[in-house]
Structure 1
Amino acid sequence: MTSPDQPAQPAPADTSLANRYGAKKRTLTPKAKRVIGGAALAAGIGFLAWVSTSQSLSDVTFKDIGYSTTDATLAEVDFQVTREPGTAVKCAVKALDSKFAVVGWKVVDIPPAEATETADGGRTVAQRVAVRTESLPVSGVVDSCWAAGT
């Protein structure tokens, strides 16, 4: 003889919800949150230190001193370049007309200086560059400078 079928026991509510919506999410412990936060903070500080020191090590800066115009075909631009001693530099110098259009352009090679050549140990050198122009310039400026090896 067979026994009659027994009705199934209803599943507990937690199990049926877990089957339908997924298991409860596990949260991080407070200690794990502190460790992750500390690691992220240390990585951020390390990245900022790297960025600030890498820029200053290969930094080339320039300062416009003045310009003079001898005639409609020539301008002379005076400027200073600061870089590490022993670093060759290239600078783009341009002459501008009254509407700020470029009427002359020249890339100048500045050779590396010895550490004893200037008062600041060879870091800053003054340059005077003659730039040929198409028409009468009213200004002469340095557009940019960069280390010659890059």
Structure 2
Amino acid sequence: MTTTQQMLDERYGRHSARRRRWTLGIIVGVAAVAVGLFAWMTVAGALDDVDVDATGFHVVDERTVTIDFQFIAPPGRSVACALEAQDTQHGIVGWRVVEYPASDEHSRAFQETVPTVAEATTGFVNSCWVT
């Protein structure tokens, strides 16, 4: 390669094929690591998911609501659920967090009582999570 050719390559940013392959290899490697990390985070997050369904509620009296619900959680992991009672204006009149010990069962059903400060018109499970 002549000196003029080298000067032109430097001026216009031309690189050798070897340098282009090296850069491309680094980019592909970083992309592969990023995709692998994203996949692992997605799978790891899904392993601890708790799916909950409220199956019913019953207003016992002015100060009590019972909530029937079931959840699907990873076996061998303890679970906590936040139960909520609301009035006609959707104001929270009762709240309770209940913790359940680990079990070998994948799906479990419960009925819990939530004390309220005023008469409730509904009761439901706000959320459940693995503890």
TM-score, structure 2 normalization: 0.80
Residue pairs, 1:50-129, within 5 angstroms: 50-113=40-103, 115=104, 122-129=105-112
Structure 2 gaps, min length 5:
1-6
- Is 1:40 matched up with 2:40? no
Quick one: percent identity of the two aligned structures? 28
RMSD, matched Cα? 2.1
**Greater strand percent: which structure?**
2
Residue 91 of structure 2 aligns with an amino acid whose one-letter code is A
Look up the SS of the partner of 2:89 in the other structure. Answer: coil
Per-residue deviation, residues 36-94 of structure 1 (Å, max 9, x unmatched): 33113202210121111111222222112111112111101111121111211111101
CA separation of 1:97 and 1:27: change in aligned 2, threshold 3 A: farther
Helix, strand or coil: the match of 1:99? coil
How many residue pairs match? The answer is 120
Match of 1:142 among 115, 125, 129: 125
**Which 4+ runs in 1 deviate beyond 4 A?**
23-28
**Aligned residue for 1:7?**
none
Separation in 1, partners of 2:14, 2:128: 53
Q: Which amino acid aligns with 1:140?
A: G
CA distance in 1, matches of 2:27, 2:21: 10
Instruction: Report the residue type matching 2:71 in the other structure.
Output: V
Task: Write the distance in 2 (CA, Å) between the matches of 1:40 and 1:135.
Answer: 58
